[in-house]
Amino acid sequence: MAQKLTLISHKLCPYVQRAVIALTEKGVPFERIDIDLGNKPDWFLKISPLGKVPVLVVASGDGEVALFESNVICEYIEDTQGGAKLHPQDPLKRAQHRAWMEFGSTILSELWGLETTGDPAIFESKRKAVAAKFAQVEKTLAAGPFFAGKDFSLVDAVFAPIFRYFDVFDQLTDLSVFADTPKVRAWRDALAQRPSVRTAVGPDYPQLLHAFLVRHNAHMLKLAA
């Protein structure tokens, strides 16, 4: 019996976008349910041990199983669904890709501080930390257009939502995060054109992210004033 996949989501969550991109790249039908993380439904808390999105609910004749943690969800999608392969077949290369997926998560941790702090010193510290991490990424990139060359991978699915933040940030101020990383800039441009990346969020994403910055009284907004 075919599985029914339901992705529990939030409109701004970059980790959700990873799963959406992976599912879209493979051409897998799924239902997406957006929730308010500020007012989490009881049914959601029962299936999400960490109270976080994404959660992928896999329903089959044997019942429902809820998977949590974005990289776990992406790996499950890769292991069970047809369509394009999003991991290298070579075990060593696959392990390298998984490591860079984790590296992408560390960038998101720095970005959280960058976008939410109202303190100028913390903001500058986080800006430098993000730039330093992308300088490390620059050293790993080859000809492109994607992380591993011509084939789109789960590493691309991880980094595309990171770059999307800067589409909004760039409208506010020049963070100079990518000033010395031409390969990263080219990679960012290529991912921005990918249909799976473009459709991973709604048209209201920029407005929602701006409202998020306002709620946190973000220092970034003061630079735009």
Whole-angstrom CA distances from 141 to 154, 184, 211 are: 15, 8, 34
Give the whole-angstrom CA distance, residue 64 versus residue 57: 6
Q: What is the pLDDT of residue 80?
A: 95
Q: CA 133, CA 120: separation in Å to the nearest integer? A: 20
- According to CATH, the superfamily of the domain at 4-80 is Glutaredoxin (3.40.30.10)
91-224: which CATH number, 1.20.1050.10, 2.60.120.10, 2.70.210.12, 2.60.40.10? 1.20.1050.10
Among 60, 70, 64, 57, CA closest to 19: 70
DSSP per-residue letters across 69-111: SHHHHHHHHHHH--SS--S-SSHHHHHHHHHHHHHHHHHHHHH
Domain segments of the chain as ranges:
4-80, 91-224
Q: Running along the chain, 225 residues long, what does each successive block of 10 average in pLDDT?
A: 89 98 97 96 96 96 93 97 96 98 97 97 97 98 94 98 97 96 98 98 98 97 84
Q: pLDDT digits over 13-35, tens only?
A: 999 999 999 999 999 999 999 99
The label of the residue with tokens 């699915």 reads 157
Q: Which of 5, 8, 12, 13 is catalytic?
A: 13
| Residue 13 designated active-site | yes
